[in-house]
């Protein structure tokens, strides 16, 4: 996409967003890429390094929790993970009343750390956990307390080593109430901006389709054009943080 084309598409997206009554954002791993969190798919994706069946299924976790923790450390640690402009602008839009909420597939807590309050975490998050063996709940700061250590966390109640973060593993159901509320918001929305998601993982990816089927205009901000370019009214191809800054400036001018 050349500079002129991007400029005119950004202006078009800004008009749509500024004129919205119920704007929702739908985000995926790509929005956190500029914060240093690798995506799962793509050339630097974590699935090139890890076998999802051996790391992100419940049975793999039960047998080898240390493999899962290695994967999470690789995803989050040794990097200064901070919200980037895309997270921060979404939080500002919510505070100013422009954005109603965010439906996210991410587990990295960056939306909340940026200041967003209405966040539907379809795949759970690393913020809370419970012991798989005795059920004891843990809600301390996983990212700070756990990821800096060399060992894996063990349960203070039963001594077991299977403390499971509240993330949805492959083969697990999505949290039903969150999915239902996110779907209600998708149906209510008249504009949805999808940021940094390949839309390959279902049922999460069905929510933008649901929004479109019930009349919403869809904007896609992604590094590539994705697999369903035909469902979008405007496609902004590029980096989430960079383009969100341009978009926010355009909206401020309207
Ligand atoms: P995905 O890896 O399938 O797709 C990411 C998309 O983002 C790709 O289309 C890619 O082209 C795009 N992208 C990469 N860098 C970008 C950038 N700087 N700006 C804009 N777009 C960029 O991720 P997904 O669609 O979220 O779905 C996969 C699953 O991955 C989800 O289940 C999610 O739970 C999980 N996941 C979460 C995190 C996280 O919490 N940050 C990280 C990796 C994967
Ligand atoms: Zn326990």
CA torsion through residues 176, 192, 206, 126, sign: negative
- Whether the CB of 55 sits within 6 Å of ligand 1: no
Looking at the CA of residue 86, tell me the nearest atom of ligand 1: 19
Nearest ligand 1 atom to the CA of 204 is 32
Ligand nearest to the CA of 221: 1
Smallest CA separation from ligand 1 atom 6, residue:
197
Residue 79 has pLDDT above 70, yes or no: no
Closest Cα to atom 8, ligand 1: which residue?
198
pLDDT confidence band for 249 (50 / 70 / 90): very high
Higher pLDDT, 79 or 69: 69
Q: How many CB atoms lie within 10 A of CB 51?
A: 12
201 φ, ψ (degrees, to nearest 5): -100, 120
- In three-state form (DSSP H/G/I as H, E/B as E, the rest C), the secondary structure along 185-248 is HHHHCCEEEEECCCCCCCCCCHHHHHHHHCCCEEEEEECCCCCCHHHCCEEEECCHHHHHHHHH
pLDDT value of position 70: 86
Is the model more confident about 80 or about 75?
A: 75
pLDDT tens track for 164-220: 989 999 889 999 999 999 999 999 999 999 999 999 888 889 999 999 999 999 999
Domain spanning 38-78+124-167: CATH superfamily: SIR2/SIRT2 'Small Domain' (3.30.1600.10)
- The mean pLDDT value of the chain amounts to 92
What does the alpha-carbon distance between residue 136 and residue 132 come to, in Å, rounded to a whole number? 8
Tokens matching residue 236: 């902004």
Give yes or no on whether 1-36+82-123+174-254 and 38-78+124-167 have one common fold. no
Domain locations in the chain as residue ranges: 1-36+82-123+174-254, 38-78+124-167
> Catalytic: 123?
yes
Reading the block at residue 218, the tokens are 């869809």
Chain center to CA of 11: 25
Query: Ligand 1 centre and the CA of 106: distance in Å?
Result: 8
Ligand 1 lined by 110 (C-beta under 6 Å): no
* Cβ within 8 Å of residue 99, ≥6 positions away: 23, 24, 25, 90, 93
Positive/negative CA dihedral, 72, 202, 226, 222: negative
pLDDT at 17: 98
Ligand 1 atom 3, closest CA: 198
Considering the four listed CATH numbers 3.40.50.10800, 3.30.70.940, 3.40.50.1980, 3.40.50.1220, the one that applies to the domain covering 1-36+82-123+174-254 is 3.40.50.1220
Residue 197 alpha carbon, nearest atom of ligand 1: 25
Query: Which stretch, 53-57, 114-118, 126-130, 226-230, has highest mean pLDDT?
Result: 114-118
Rounded CA-CA distance 14/233 in Å is: 12
27 lines ligand 1 (CB under 6 A): no
Cα 254 to ligand 1 centre (Å): 31
Task: Give the CA-trace dihedral at 248, 31, 25, 117, to 10 degrees.
Answer: -90
pLDDT tens digit string along 112-165?
999 999 999 999 988 889 999 999 998 866 566 677 778 888 899 999 999 998
């Amino acid at each position: 996409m050349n500079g002129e084309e991007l400029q005119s598409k950004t202006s078009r997206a800004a008009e749509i967003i500024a004129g919205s009554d119920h704007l929702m954002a739908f985000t995926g791993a790509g929005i956190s890429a500029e914060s240093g969190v690798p995506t799962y798919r793509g050339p630097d994706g974590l699935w090139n390094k890890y076998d999802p069946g051996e790391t992100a299924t419940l049975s793999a976790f039960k047998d080898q929790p240390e493999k899962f923790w290695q994967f999470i450390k690789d995803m989050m640690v040794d990097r200064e993970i901070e919200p980037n402009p895309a997270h921060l602008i979404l939080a500002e839009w919510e505070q100013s009343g422009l954005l109603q909420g965010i439906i996210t597939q991410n587990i990295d807590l960056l939306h909340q750390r940026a200041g967003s309050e209405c966040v539907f975490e379809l795949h759970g998050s690393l913020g809370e956990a419970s012991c798989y063996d005795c059920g004891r709940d843990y809600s301390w700061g996983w990212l700070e307390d756990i990821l800096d250590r060399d060992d894996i966390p063990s349960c203070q109640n039963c001594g077991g080593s299977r403390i499971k973060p509240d993330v949805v593993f492959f083969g697990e159901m999505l949290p039903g109430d969150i999915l239902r509320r996110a779907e209600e918001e998708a149906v209510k929305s008249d504009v949805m901006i999808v940021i940094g998601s390949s839309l390959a993982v279902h049922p999460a990816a069905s929510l933008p389709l649901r929004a479109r089927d019930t009349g919403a205009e869809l904007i896609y901000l992604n590094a590539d054009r994705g697999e369903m370019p035909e469902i979008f009214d405007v496609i902004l191809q590029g980096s989430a943080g960079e383009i969100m800054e341009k978009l926010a400036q355009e909206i401020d001018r309207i």
